[in-house]
Amino acid sequence: MLPNSLVSKLEEIVGEKNISTDKYELLAYTITDRSYVSRIQLMGLNLKPEYMYDCVVWPQTTEQVSEIVKLANKYRVPIIPYGGGTNDMGGTVPLTGGIAVDLKRLDKIIEINERSARVHTQAGVILQILEWELNKHGLTTGHAPACMYDATIGGTLSTRSSGSLSNKYGKIPDMTLGLEVVLPTGEIVNIKPVPEGSTGPALKHLFLGAEGVFGIITSAVLRTFQLPEVRRFRSVLFKNLHNGIEAGRKIMQSGISPAAIRLSDEAETMKNHKMQGCYCVFCFEGPREIVDAEEKIVMKICQEEGAEDLGSEEGKRWWERKYYMYYSTPRSSVYPPEEGKIRFAIVPDTAASYDEIEPLYYDILNVVKKYGISVYSHFSHWYPHGTMVYPVIYFNVIDNIEEAMKIYTAVWNDIAAVILKYKTASLNHHHGVGFILGRYLDKEYGEPLFRIFKEIKKILDPNGIMNPGKLGL
Amino acid sequence: MVIMYMHMEKMKEKAWICSLCPKLCRHVCPVAQVLESELDTPNGKALLAYILAKNNVEITPSMVTHLYNCTTCGICGTEKWCPIERIDMPAIIRAARADIVDAGKAPRKIVELENMMRENKNPYGMPRENRFSQIRVHVKDKKDSEVLYFVGCTAAYKRPEIPNAVVKILETGKIDYTIMGDEICCGKPLVDAGYIESAKDNANELVGAIERMHSNTIVASCPSCYYMLKTYYPKEFGIKLGIEIFHITEYLEQLLEKGKIKIAKPYDKKVIYHDPCYLGRHSGIYDVPRRIIGNINQINLVESFFSKDNAHCCGRGGDFRITAPDASLEIAKNRLKELLENEPDTIITTCPGCKDQFIDALEKMESSKKFKIEDLCEVIAYLL
């Protein structure tokens, strides 16, 4: 419960209509967050979940955000920035209660600068809405993550998100030129949208992926790209995973960047395509001549790796249905089979160098075997020096929340331990760490880096009010 | 005391499925674009509705507010945005509202609406005797006519220029038509309000009156009336009218094809067509009005970036204009801005409610662009 005087002062800042302490409002902010901790709470429909916000506010300007942060400092009350609530890692779960600062009223697209290929947008804009606005000008963000329809720009920046076309356009940090941030003290800072610079470390990276622990991103200047002249698909079937990964490596090291390469492991290939081997779909886009050349080079490399050409139709189908797995349906593997029962999945996406990715993948499979649960994986973000594996681990039906939480925690512990064994593996590739993986960030960074990281937090956020408990802080 | 929510009980499973989804339709929900609470997304409302059905908790004032924050436009459940389950959000919303009404917790404005409907048989509280005072009707209560023109409350009281245009078209085509002098509302405002039993009584009264006219065909110029008579009555009330029911655009197309009317004049303008939710998404009529417009000489029909099943709502439906007038007009402004991106000379729609809503929103908008908002019937009547 927040003190009445604090609620009154928040009302003065944002207006009476832009604040809520209503029980069901707070419940919705708590349990419709997409992390599986929240999902488990939702499945039990526990109306008094362990973690609850005390209040939600809807500021309409950066200045209001700043005033809210200053006030929270005075009262030493936690603040959690909230966008679409789509995170998978519990980044918006209010571990110690506090104020949800919902940024969705910062929803203006401030400037589209076609000549300099950039867009200035506020943080509360939904990704698909920004994409549509740019499409009207013949432009695209190039950012197409699965949360496109429901996530905000602020959220995507705060988790270093990655979209389906990342091979060509990059991850969101690659697309970010400038930022406006409200620091944990309430000061407003602007990081200029320079094309590039040599002025010390690029400070924007302090806030990208910071999940709100170093401040609240209120607007951003992002790169834009021309809508492609051509978008084309091609699918192949590799005999085994090794051949598929080798083909991906050779493609990414050959000097070209197909917009998407999505390689399924044997289990996912059997599940989705009813075929033996490893299915792989490519998306090529851009000027026709480049697409022609990329497709030719890719097919030559696939042939060298013994792949069978499956044509273009399956790829189109994948593109049209690429978000289907996120919809809720009784047929899906995360749908509770009956009232009171719990079923869920986790997605420990990780990236590693080509030296380590295969052993890492098989180590993850061994963890899964230990728990007798099922896993289907794909490799869908590729770089010249490594790739990302996206295992979707489906749990068996569990009878109660306590048991579900126990198994959930144990599996994450084992998976994190496996990832941390590898020199080039990242604890997470594009979902952020929240508190689920944040607990292991000390091991990811090692000493003295993690100590320095904590010192930075102390300097920026002396009262520790910004999204406490996330990123291991 | 055990609380039971009978209406939501039937929709419980669908609400549960919807509440588990990571809100993959929030970006197209017109309400979620102007009211940013998570409880104003389709998913948030489904969660509230499910909580009612599952936990049988007391209905709070906040729940009531959020569950009335829906225009029932149905964009969230289209194939594009809800491809697997095709959740019928208007049905969930109406069930939850019916439980709210049964619990005696309806918002004041909704209770007033029901009173007005009972007393005046229209949602505007206007005197029944004034229903056709602004319309140049020449034929009233003629039995056994070919066409019964069902005018509808919004056209009759708010936008009389539309029925006047329809009458001109019918008379030009020498159609044997009539209207019912004691026409009453189709009852959609009651259905959306959650007063299902009152709506059913209203439907029975209306259907009795229609049957007594012995007409061969009903033509409605309001998509909501059309939807109620053609789809909702048989599906939800089991009331099937034994005569053909057309929206005016369908009937217009027949008149043009049969040569009963001719579009004589050209229309040298750039026009954009706004799809009303209850003609488009809820009745599946997208191409008929476009074909009619396309046949007008010299007209330049352009498409909105958001059109057909992806057209945004004007914000009026689902009694949202009554319960949240400011937010409702914000939605209308958003839609107008989208339509004006194409710089049309005329915005054409086929719904008196949409037209009235846009005109009201325009008064609150700063726009230097000059354009007209017209019903398709007005355009056709002018060009005859």
Any B CB within 8 A of A431 CB:
no
The pLDDT of B194-198, averaged and rounded, is 96
- Mean of all residue pLDDT scores within chain A: 92
**Chain B residues inside the 8 Å CB shell of A104:** 36
Residue-level pLDDT at A64:
98
For residues A305, A309, A314, A315, the Cα torsion angle rounded to the nearest 10 degrees is 60
A188: nearest Cα among A221, A212, A217: A217
Structure tokens at A245: 């990964």
**Would you list the DSSP string of B333-355?**
HHHHHHHHTT--SEEEES-HHHH
Q: Which candidate from B27, B60, B66 shows the least CB-CB separation from A129?
A: B27
Residues A219-252 have pLDDT tens digits of 999 999 999 999 999 999 999 999 999 999 999 9
Structure tokens at B45: 């409302």
CB under 8 Å to A27, separation ≥6 — which residues? Answer: A47, A49, A52
- Inter-chain touch B62–A330, beta carbons under 8 Å: no
Residue-level pLDDT at A415:
95
CA-to-CA distance for B167 and A178, rounded, in angstroms? Answer: 60
- Cβ atoms of A362 and A422 within 8 Å: the answer is no
**Local confidence band at B291 (pLDDT 50, 70, 90 cut-offs):** very high
CA distances from B204 to B112, B221, B237 (A): 22, 21, 9
- For residue A195, give the amino acid letter: P
Whether B309 shows a pLDDT value over 90: the answer reads yes
**Local confidence band at A394 (pLDDT 50, 70, 90 cut-offs):** confident
* Contacts A–B by Cβ distance under 8 A: 107
B218: nearest Cα among B178, B271, B182, B262: B178
The pLDDT of A163-174, averaged and rounded, is 96
Any A CB within 8 A of B47 CB:
yes
Whether A38 shows a pLDDT value over 90: the answer reads no
Question: Within the 272-331 window of chain A, which residues sit less than 8 Å (CB to CB) from chain B?
Answer: 321, 323-324, 326-331
CA-to-CA distance for A388 and A430, rounded, in angstroms? Answer: 9
B379 phi and psi, to 5 degrees? -60, -45
**Chain A residues inside the 8 Å CB shell of B27:** 126, 128-129, 149-150
Model-level pTM? Answer: 0.95
CA-to-CA distance for A312 and A331, rounded, in angstroms? Answer: 28
Residue-level pLDDT at A333:
64
Residue-level pLDDT at A422:
98
- Cβ atoms of A405 and A41 within 8 Å: the answer is no
The pLDDT of B123-148, averaged and rounded, is 93
Q: Diameter of chain A by CA atoms?
A: 71
Question: Could you tell me where the DSSP H helices lie in chain B?
Answer: 6-20, 30-34, 42-55, 61-67, 89-102, 108-120, 153-157, 161-172, 188-193, 196-213, 223-227, 248-257, 287-294, 320-323, 325-340, 352-363, 376-383
A158 or A28, greater pLDDT: A158
Residues B85-120 have pLDDT tens digits of 999 999 999 999 999 999 999 999 999 999 999 999
Residues A75-112 have pLDDT tens digits of 999 999 999 988 888 899 898 999 999 999 999 999 99
Structure tokens at B9: 């009980």
Question: Within the 308-347 window of chain B, which residues sit less than 8 Å (CB to CB) from chain A?
Answer: 341
The pLDDT of B14-38, averaged and rounded, is 92
- Inter-chain touch A329–B51, beta carbons under 8 Å: no
Three-class secondary structure of residue B220 per DSSP: strand
- Inter-chain touch A45–B17, beta carbons under 8 Å: no
**Local confidence band at A409 (pLDDT 50, 70, 90 cut-offs):** confident
Interface test with B, best of A14, A18, A19, A22 (most B CBs within 10 A): A22
Task: Write down all domains in chain A, each with its CATH number in brackets.
Answer: 4-104 (3.30.43.10), 109-226 (3.30.465.10), 230-322 (3.30.70.3450), 329-433 (3.30.300.330)
**Chain A residues inside the 8 Å CB shell of B22:** 34, 86, 147, 150, 326, 328
CB under 8 Å to A103, separation ≥6 — which residues? Answer: A59, A65, A81, A82, A83, A122, A123, A124, A152, A154, A216, A218
CA distances from B119 to B114, B155, B202 (A): 9, 19, 12
Whether A36 shows a pLDDT value over 60: the answer reads no
For residue B179, give the DSSP letter: B
CA distance B32 to chain A (A): 10
Whether B148 shows a pLDDT value over 80: the answer reads yes
CB under 8 Å to A17, separation ≥6 — which residues? Answer: none
B185: nearest Cα among B155, B230, B161, B148: B155
Residues A325-383 have pLDDT tens digits of 888 777 766 666 666 677 778 889 999 999 999 999 999 999 999 887 889 999 999 99
Q: Assign residue B7 a region: left if phi > 0, alpha if psi is -120 to 50, beta otherwise?
A: alpha
Residue-level pLDDT at A337:
64
**Local confidence band at A32 (pLDDT 50, 70, 90 cut-offs):** low
For residue A382, how many C-alpha atoms fall within 13 Å in the half-sphere facing its CB? 30
CB under 8 Å to A417, separation ≥6 — which residues? Answer: none
Q: What is the ipTM of this complex?
A: 0.93
CA-to-CA distance for A138 and B346, rounded, in angstroms? Answer: 25
**Local confidence band at A407 (pLDDT 50, 70, 90 cut-offs):** confident
CA-to-CA distance for B224 and B276, rounded, in angstroms? Answer: 9
For residue A342, how many C-alpha atoms fall within 13 Å in the half-sphere facing its CB? 24
* Percent of the residues in chain A that have a pLDDT greater than 70, as a whole number: 94
The pLDDT of B187-204, averaged and rounded, is 97
A237: nearest Cα among A295, A292, A291, A305: A305
- Cβ atoms of B219 and B272 within 8 Å: the answer is no
Residue-level pLDDT at A372:
79
- For residue B370, give the amino acid letter: K
The pLDDT of B4-18, averaged and rounded, is 89
**Chain A residues inside the 8 Å CB shell of B54:** 45
Low-confidence winner among A10-19, A79-88, B180-189 (lowest mean pLDDT): A79-88
CA-to-CA distance for B102 and A363, rounded, in angstroms? Answer: 58
Strands (E), A139-274: 139-140, 176-182, 188-191, 216-223, 225-226, 230-238, 260-264
Helix axes B376-383, B248-257, angle to 10 degrees: 30
CA-to-CA distance for A174 and A163, rounded, in angstroms? Answer: 12
Paired sense of beta strands A216-223 and A260-264, if any: unpaired
* Strand partners of residue A389: A350, A379
